[in-house]
Amino acid sequence: MAEKADVKSVVNELVRRINEDVRRIRTIEQRIERIETSFSTLEERVLTQLGDLKISLERIGSKISDVSDNIIAIETDISRINKELSRTASKVEVKQLETYLEIVNPITSKFVTKDELERTLEERFARKA
């Protein structure tokens, strides 16, 4: 009977160990399932964010293209303005025109009428004679 008790205690110990191992395996399986769920959720988030990032990069690329086009247009306008400025009068030329206008300006210049000139000439000739 001692043998039966020993066999029974060995079998009981084996059953206890198997039950403990089964419990540990279930715990590990549950952890693995949670990790897989978390990983799946994380993967979905990453894919969503990559999609959003792709859209954002396309928008940025489009805006950069627009800015580049605007810069080209501005450079063209600046070149055209420079060409037009080269055709305009310089500061020295404007000063010369101002001088000519001051000389010819009837408001600031004193012009002699024909009658005044004749009178003045007659007066001078009369004095000399």
How is residue 64 written in tokens? 């950069």
pLDDT digits (tens), the chain, 129 positions:
567 778 889 999 999 999 999 999 999 999 999 999 999 999 999 999 999 999 999 999 999 999 999 999 999 999 999 999 888 888 888 889 888 877 777 666 667 788 888 898 898 888 886
- Tell me what the pLDDT averaged over the chain comes to: 90
- What is the predicted pLDDT for the residue at 68? 97
Rounded to whole angstroms, the Cα distance separating 19 from 3 reads 24
- What is the predicted pLDDT for the residue at 108? 64
Interval 36-59: pLDDT, tens: 999 999 999 999 999 999 999 999
- What is the predicted pLDDT for the residue at 1? 59
Rounded to whole angstroms, the Cα distance separating 98 from 86 reads 20
Rounded to whole angstroms, the Cα distance separating 112 from 118 reads 10
Q: In terms of pTM, does the model score above 0.75?
A: no
Helix (H) or strand (E) holding 66: helix 2-87
User: Cβ–Cβ contacts within 10 Å for residue 20, how many?
Assistant: 10
